[in-house]
Structure 1
Amino acid sequence: MLRDIRPLQKIPSQYWLRKYYFSRALFSLIWVAAAFSIGQHSSYLAAILLIIYPAWDALANYIDSTRSGGISKNRMQAFNIIVSIITTVSVIFTVRESMNQVIAVFGCWAILSGLLQLGAAVQRWKNSNAQWSMALSGGQSTIAGAFFIFQAQMPVPPSIINIAGYAAFGAFYFLVSAVSLFIILRKKNRVSVC
């Protein structure tokens, strides 16, 4: 009897993760659309979008960590919250200077948050499904961060579009995780009904 109950005890966290991943994907898709539509035509709106992106990441990680056992149990996310807050403040100061400095800040953030996301995915792997795409996302974020730092050294200034491509890949991975969890939970529900 205990064997039948234990897998179902993990389902609420799986439902939360599915909802969380869908909301992260939706936010990123809206952000990318805003970057391509209004962000590249207005430096003021581009600056706001560039500040919002890491701030949202800090907030999203905070909400997820509190819903997934608390910050003390999710240390990777706790560090990610701190890194994202520092990034937000750094973008506020560098966005006035040059886009090269902004993309360098995003590069450092992408490397650190990518490694932390990879660590969080590995930590969750035992209890949660669909973490392979989060691990891939973390790895790709790290590589993208190194590329951003390289771009920051170029004489031609980068634009918000460079970061929008990165955000689009993030949206894709969150969507893959959400859909994977949706399929897994649907199968579990069918099995529990039978």
Structure 2
Amino acid sequence: MTTTETLQPTKNLRNLYLTRTAVQFLWAAATIATAATNPALAAALLVLYPLWDVACTLYDLKTSSDATSATTLYINAAAGILTAIGIGLTAYAHPQYAVAIFGAWALLAGLLQFVVGLIRRQRMGGQWAMILSGLQSTAAGVAFVVGGLNGKFHIKDLGGYAIFGAVYFLIAGILLSRKR
């Protein structure tokens, strides 16, 4: 593989990570700001979050030359679509269930991100932040499932989850920039 063939997927992934950083910070701010005053908007934002992840995953699949993680990414995209549907069906009537559904998705997506991070670490490096992010997402997912089902977590609490994810994406983007 030539240097150009190696650098383009790294550049694409870096750009994706940095874009995800910005969008996740904006999403978190909007969710935290609107959850108490406009629950309908917060619920809509909650539906959009996994769909944003699906769009990012599809972009990753399109621009990545990493066939070894493709199955994992397809599973992640399918899970995100199912999650958005589940949240859409529950967010307005039973927001605690929407939080629990989001948590189940965060748990699965975290495990998948962990696997993709391990695979990519060997090929391109700069993935330790994604590996840690996957582990953190898995743990947060468990907390959201339990907390959502027990009425202890609210949609606004998911803003912190997005902020942590944004920081991990920022670190990974910087690491990939340095690698180039």
The CA RMSD measured in Å over matched residues stands at 1.8
Alpha-carbon displacement from aligned partner over 1:11-65 (angstroms, at most 9, x marks no partner): 1111111101001111100101111223331011111101110111111101111
Q: 1:73 to 1:144 in 2, by over 3 A?
A: closer
| Corresponding residue SS for 1:14 | helix
Where does residue 161 of structure 1 map in the other structure?
Answer: 156
Shift of 1:7: 4.5
1:69-88 superposed matches below 5 A: 69=65, 74-88=70-84
* Partner residue of 2:169 out of 164, 169, 174: 174
**8 Å CA contact 2:103, 2:143 repeated in 1:** yes
Matched residues in 2 for 1:73 and 1:105: separation? 25
Q: 1:73 to 1:182 in 2, by over 3 A?
A: closer
Normalising to structure 2: TM-score of the pair? 0.93
Bigger mean CA deviation after superposition, 37-46 or 115-124: 37-46
Normalising to structure 1: TM-score of the pair? 0.86
1:36-55 superposed matches below 5 A: 36-55=32-51
Query: Is 1:57 matched up with 2:56?
Result: no
* Partner residue of 1:102 out of 98, 102, 105: 98
Matched residues in 2 for 1:88 and 1:71: separation? 26
Where does residue 13 of structure 1 map in the other structure?
Answer: 9
Structure 2 unaligned runs (5+)? none
Matched residues in 2 for 1:66 and 1:55: separation? 17
Bigger mean CA deviation after superposition, 61-70 or 44-53: 61-70
Shift of 1:101: 0.3
Query: Is 1:115 matched up with 2:111?
Result: yes
**8 Å CA contact 1:39, 1:49 repeated in 2:** no
Matched residues in 2 for 1:123 and 1:79: separation? 16
Bigger mean CA deviation after superposition, 174-183 or 5-14: 5-14
Matched residues in 1 for 2:151 and 2:78: separation? 31
1:124-163 superposed matches below 5 A: 124-156=120-152, 158-163=153-158
Shift of 1:72: 8.1
Matched residues in 1 for 2:151 and 2:38: separation? 21
Structure 1 unaligned runs (5+)? 186-194
Matched residues in 1 for 2:19 and 2:43: separation? 23
Q: 1:55 to 1:71 in 2, by over 3 A?
A: farther
Where does residue 27 of structure 1 map in the other structure?
Answer: 23
